[in-house]
Amino acid sequence: MKTLKKTLLALVLLSFIFTGCNKYQDGPKFSLLTKKARLTGDWKIDKVTFNGDDVTGAYNTLLGANYQLDIEKDGTYKTTGNFPDSGTWKFGEDKDDVYFTSNTAGSTEDAERILRLKSKELWLRHTGSNGDVTIIHYVPS
């Protein structure tokens, strides 16, 4: 009977742990990798929506077929494609946002909400000052 009670207690505790680990709106619920380890890497665009409409083709044409976002562990990033860029990145206070700051003179910090952060999926949401919402789904390059 003691073993059954211990097993049930362990299951209840695990269910609280796993349901409480959902940091990002679209997951994952649990990961052994750190947020930084999941964010860093070379990413390419898989899908883009603008105010709910799929605009992936237009984004790929605009940014170029060789567009890639490379996020480094040292807090730097670079992009390739039609508009190459580089700069720094950092997590927001609660690590549910990531801030990109270009090295280009006069650039401001660009805030992106992390919707999904997996080792093979990165979903970022940008909300413009006018309320327009762009969601970009990235996959590893």
**For residue range 78-112, what is the model confidence (pLDDT) as tens digits?**
999 999 999 999 999 989 999 999 999 888 999 99
pLDDT at 134 (0 to 100): 98
Structure confidence at residue 16 (pLDDT): 41
What pTM value is reported for the model? 0.79
Q: Which residues pair with 128 in a beta bridge?
A: none
Q: Break the chain into its structural domains and give their ranges.
A: 2-140
> Is the bond into 28 cis (omega within 30 degrees of 0)?
yes
Span 61-75, pLDDT tens digits? 999 989 999 999 999
Q: Which of 81, 111, 82 is nearest to 95 (CA)?
A: 111
Does domain 2-140 sit in CATH 3.90.550.10? no
